[in-house]
Structure 1
Amino acid sequence: MKKIFNFQWLSVLMLAFLLVGCGTAEENANEDTSKQGAQSEESGYKVKDDRGVEVAFDAVPETVVSLQPSNTEILFALGVGDKIVGATEYDTYPPEALEIERVSDSMVFNSERILALNPDVVIAYTIGEKDALKVLEDAGVKVFVIQSATSFEDVYGDIEQLATVMGVKDKGEQLNKEIKAKIADVQAKLADVTTQKNAYYEVSPLPSIYTTAGGTFQQEILDAAKVNNIFGDQQGWIQVSEEDIIAKNPEVILTTNNYIEDAVGEILGRNGWNTIPAVQNKEVFLLDADTLSRPGPRIGEAVELVAKAVYPELF
């Protein structure tokens, strides 16, 4: 089961989606299979969300509120980002997302403002509060829950679900193909890597150092980039000590700490870290936090960012 992390990284279980088309036998007989996700307003359709709830739609949504940055990125990648009328403070990609009204800080949303926008659907996520979305549903707003992915397969499933909700299932399938092709292209460049470099991935810096371990979305990125996570034998998001890191002697250090002025310089200057090969050789790299933390359509780019940092000679 996916786990929820109380910082900005939320990880939970993605359930399989189900599309149920309603309509007459005559309509079904005449429907071209190439239309796939494009549902007629007369027939309506249902899609099962990650709570297991079948959400019914009379027509393809024209206005959407997105309460998670990764879902916003997916909607834009599907070509329906112009339908988003409400988003979170952290919805920064693509640039067009910056123009959308803010209705949430990703943890708490403004239910009054969402109700005033009167969206056709709210694309939400589970944050541990069972009744967090009840206010919206009690007011008659359709809520479709996509739980944050912890694997690439989860991301592909999220894309399929949202593409089905938005009536663009064919675009969802094409997007998944493009993402898989991107990852395959990166891995082709890594074909000659026989001995993976040992890397430490820092999520949160001193004084409370956190890293990612097995069973996380970031672990799959590292695996795809042929990088050996020195803490990959553990599970989830873990707090580690400086002594733990120094003892494991990483060859490369990756950090996504973009909220301090000089993350690379801060790591290179830490007391006692000068014995680590990554520090001695200045193999310390700051990578884009959004790209590596959001389980959305940029996972191919995330794999490439890591691979280029660790094996630059291959690119």
Structure 2
Amino acid sequence: MMPRTSPFKNPRAALLAALLLVSCCVLPVSAVAVTDDAGTTVTLNATPQRIVSLAPSNTEILAALDLTGRLVGITDVCNYPPEVNTVPRIGGYSSISTEKVSAARPDLVIASDITPAETTARLRALGLNVVVVAPRNIDDMIRDIRMVGALTGTDAEAERLAANLSLRLAAVGTAERPAGTRPAIAHVVWNNPLYVSGNNTLQNDVIEHAGGKNAFAGISGWGTVTLEEFLVTNPDIIIVSGGGGMDNSTRDVILDDFMTRPQYASLSAVKNHRVYAVNADAISRAGPRIVDATEQVAADIREMTRTGTGGTAGAVPTTRTPGFCAAGTVLLIAAFVCLIQWRR
């Protein structure tokens, strides 16, 4: 009888056994694990092919990574880029239909900090992979682009996009400006009542990256100010949320209000034509277009420091009578509210 020999005395057999053991203990080759913006670790065992986005900013990040073709559900307020308009809708910001999300059979759901916690919990209870992407500022947004790239197998595309955005921000930060000049800038979200962006907001980050200082940095988050408070603050530049952008290609109601209503006539920004409209979606969503908004605000600052009086990007003012408005004028301003669309 031949003596039995242990297979592990054979180097090849031992190596094969070791490899089989390791293969049983590690994640699949395509698996990826990330810690999302809510501090939850999420692991995907395969590259997702069916994605649902629960926020416009996240939809824009996905589109910038050329992932529109994988989208099977987006919110009612996702409107950019135009290619997403054919993607099925699964509800609003705070009224997500978990039934519609589940019916879309996603292998990845990208939520945000605006997504109700109970919705996120319900989707996870249904066995869906939910990742919270909720950047608080521009740097966070660039970091999250890389995270989304890792989750979706588009690491290279995400790195190129993140690097490009970082380079553009760096160029804004090194733009020529007279030493020590950081003009006071107010970002007006709404005009009746006057609703402005304070500190700890994405718009505050835009202003600081662009080379300005927030005229209402004393306000935490967003808040209302009185007309008197606004007049006393007297910002050097006023940025308003609008749809026409700096080229003023479409009528912007809030911008027109500042440039034509007598109660604003004494403001330095109005007298010097330094009131500008920036696309409301671009400046309020933590997606790649926030860098576009930052470049626009930086261009306004450069124009002011170059000419000393501002440029022609703002609306051309009509004849105004200085002073405060009368009660009848206030009622007229209120009529503008029905014309304004909230674009978050």
Match of 1:62 among 49, 56, 66: 49
CA distance in 2, matches of 1:197, 1:89: 37
Query: Are residue 252 (structure 1) and residue 237 (structure 2) matched?
Result: yes
Q: Which residue is equivalent to 2:175?
A: 189
Amino acid in structure 2 at the alignment position of 1:297:
P
Shift of 1:231: 1.0
Deviations 1:110-143 (A, max 9, x none): 2211111111111112337432223322222221
CA distance in 2, matches of 1:49, 1:115: 21
TM-score (norm 2): 0.74
Match of 2:267 among 236, 260, 276: 276
Shift of 1:194: 3.9
Asked whether the 8 Å contact 1:179–1:299 carries over to 2, the reply is no
Deviations 1:50-86 (A, max 9, x none): 2322222121000100011111111111222211111
Shift of 1:45: 2.9
Query: Are residue 120 (structure 1) and residue 107 (structure 2) matched?
Result: yes
Asked whether the 8 Å contact 2:94–2:115 carries over to 1, the reply is no
Match of 2:153 among 149, 161, 167: 167
After superposition, residues 23-38 of structure 1 pair within 5 angstroms as none
CA distance in 1, matches of 2:68, 2:273: 40
Name the count of aligned residue pairs.
280
Query: Are residue 230 (structure 1) and residue 215 (structure 2) matched?
Result: yes
Q: Which residue is equivalent to 2:32?
A: 45
CA distance in 1, matches of 2:185, 2:29: 55
Q: Which residue is equivalent to 2:289?
A: 298
Asked whether the 8 Å contact 2:185–2:236 carries over to 1, the reply is yes
Match of 1:92 among 79, 93, 107: 79
CA RMSD of aligned residues (A): 2.7
Asked whether the 8 Å contact 2:33–2:44 carries over to 1, the reply is yes
Q: Which residue is equivalent to 1:142?
A: 129
Match of 1:176 among 145, 162, 168: 162
CA distance in 1, matches of 2:28, 2:66: 20
Amino acid in structure 2 at the alignment position of 1:97:
V
CA distance in 2, matches of 1:286, 1:293: 13
Shift of 1:258: 4.5
> Which structure's residues are more often helix, by fraction?
2
CA distance in 2, matches of 1:45, 1:304: 34
Match of 1:311 among 279, 302, 310: 302
CA distance in 1, matches of 2:272, 2:19: 69
- Farther off after superposition, 63-72 or 265-274: 265-274
Asked whether the 8 Å contact 1:204–1:257 carries over to 2, the reply is no
Larger radius of gyration: 2
Q: Which residue is equivalent to 2:253?
A: 262
Deviations 1:248-307 (A, max 9, x none): 122221100449962222122334321111122232111101111111112321111112
Shift of 1:42: 4.8
Structure 1 gaps of 5+ residues are 1-23, 30-39
Asked whether the 8 Å contact 2:252–2:277 carries over to 1, the reply is no
Deviations 1:173-230 (A, max 9, x none): 2211100111122333334464222222101211x22111122211111111112221
CA distance in 1, matches of 2:297, 2:261: 23
SS in 2 for 1:311: helix
The verdict on how the C-alpha distance between 1:191 and 1:177 changes in structure 2, with shifts beyond 3 A counting, is farther
Asked whether the 8 Å contact 1:163–1:169 carries over to 2, the reply is yes
SS in 2 for 1:200: strand
Q: Which residue is equivalent to 1:214?
A: 199
CA distance in 1, matches of 2:175, 2:238: 21
SS in 2 for 1:239: strand
Structure 2 gaps of 5+ residues are 1-16, 245-250, 312-344
Asked whether the 8 Å contact 2:243–2:279 carries over to 1, the reply is yes
CA distance in 2, matches of 1:285, 1:107: 31
- Farther off after superposition, 190-199 or 231-240: 190-199
Q: Percent identity?
A: 29
